[in-house]
Amino acid sequence: MQAHTNWLPIHSICIKRFGLTMAGVAVGITISSPLGLPCSPSNSEMCSTGIKIWNNNNDFGFLCGPSGTIVDYQACSCKNCCHVNPGKSDCP
C-alpha cells in the first residue's frame, strides 16, 4: 500500500456496510518515500518535479524498475533542479 502525507476532505459520506454516516471528516494519508509508486517507462532514469505531499514538494530523481514501479530514488533539496545525465538522474 502506498502512503502519502496529505489531508483529503470527505463530505457527506454514507458507509452503508457499517451503517455509519460521516460528514466533514478529514482522512490523513502518509508517504515515507516514493519507493513502489507507479512509473513509466520501465527501466529508465527520470526526474520528478516533486510529490506535493513528500519532501517539501522538492524534485527527486528516480529509477523506474522493470515492473513499472520506483525502485530507487534521490531526493533533491530544490525545486525544478533535477536533471538526467546519461545513466543517472542528479540533483545539484
Residues facing 70 on adjacent strands? 64
pLDDT tens for residues 51-92? 888 898 999 999 999 999 999 999 999 999 999 887 677 887
Any idea which residue has 482522512 for its cell? 27
Is the CB of residue 15 less than 8 Å from the CB of residue 31? no
Model-level pTM? 0.64
Considering only residues 19 and 85, tell me which one the structure prediction assigns the higher pLDDT.
85
Diameter of the chain measured on Cα atoms: 56
